[in-house]
Amino acid sequence: MLGLLKPTDPAWVQAAEADLAGLLSDHAHCEIKAAQSALSLVARHGGEAPQLAEPLGELAREESKHFLEVQRRLEQRGGSLGHPEKDEYVVALRTAAKHNRHDGVPVLLDRLLICALIEGRSCERFRLLSEHLGDGGLRAFYRGLMASEARHFTLFSNLASDCFGEQATRERFAPLASREADIADRLPLGPTVHG
Ligand SMILES: [Fe+2]
Ligand SMILES: [Fe+2]
Over residues 21-49, the pLDDT tens digits come to: 999 999 999 999 999 999 999 999 999 99
Surrounding residues of ion ligand 2, Cβ less than 5 A? 34, 119, 149, 152
Q: What is the pLDDT of residue 34?
A: 98
Q: Say which ligand is closest to the CA of 32.
A: 1
Higher pLDDT, 177 or 104: 177
Instruction: Report the alpha-carbon distance of residue 151 to residue 138 in Å, rounded.
Output: 20
Question: What ranges do the domains of the chain cover?
Answer: 11-81+94-186
What is the distance in A from the centroid of ligand 2 to the CA of 79?
A: 23
What is the distance in A from the centroid of ligand 2 to the CA of 116?
A: 9
CB 141 within 8 A of CB 171: no
Q: What is the pLDDT of residue 185?
A: 94
CB 172 within 8 A of CB 105: yes
What is the distance in A from the centroid of ligand 2 to the CA of 23?
A: 16
| 11-81+94-186 to CATH, choices 1.20.1260.10, 1.10.4160.10, 3.50.50.60, 3.30.300.30 | 1.20.1260.10
Between the two ends of the chain, the Cα-to-Cα distance in Å is 18
183 class by beta-carbon count within 10 Å (0-12 exposed, 13-18 middle, 19+ buried): buried
Q: Is the pLDDT of residue 10 over 70?
A: yes
Identity of the residue numbered 69: E
Q: What is the pLDDT of residue 168?
A: 96
Q: What is the pLDDT of residue 1?
A: 64
Find the length of the chain: 195
pLDDT in tens, 69-106: 999 999 999 999 999 989 999 999 999 999 999 888 99
pLDDT in tens, 115-167: 999 999 999 999 999 999 999 999 999 999 999 999 999 999 999 999 999 99
How far CA 129 is from CA of 81, 97, 142, 144, in Å, comes to 20, 28, 6, 11
What is the distance in A from the centroid of ligand 1 to the CA of 148?
A: 7
Q: Say which ligand is closest to the CA of 149.
A: 2
Q: Say which ligand is closest to the CA of 154.
A: 2
User: pTM for this structure?
Assistant: 0.97
Dihedral of CA 125/2/115/173: which sign?
positive
Q: Which band of pLDDT confidence, cut at 50, 70 and 90, is reported for residue 190?
A: very high
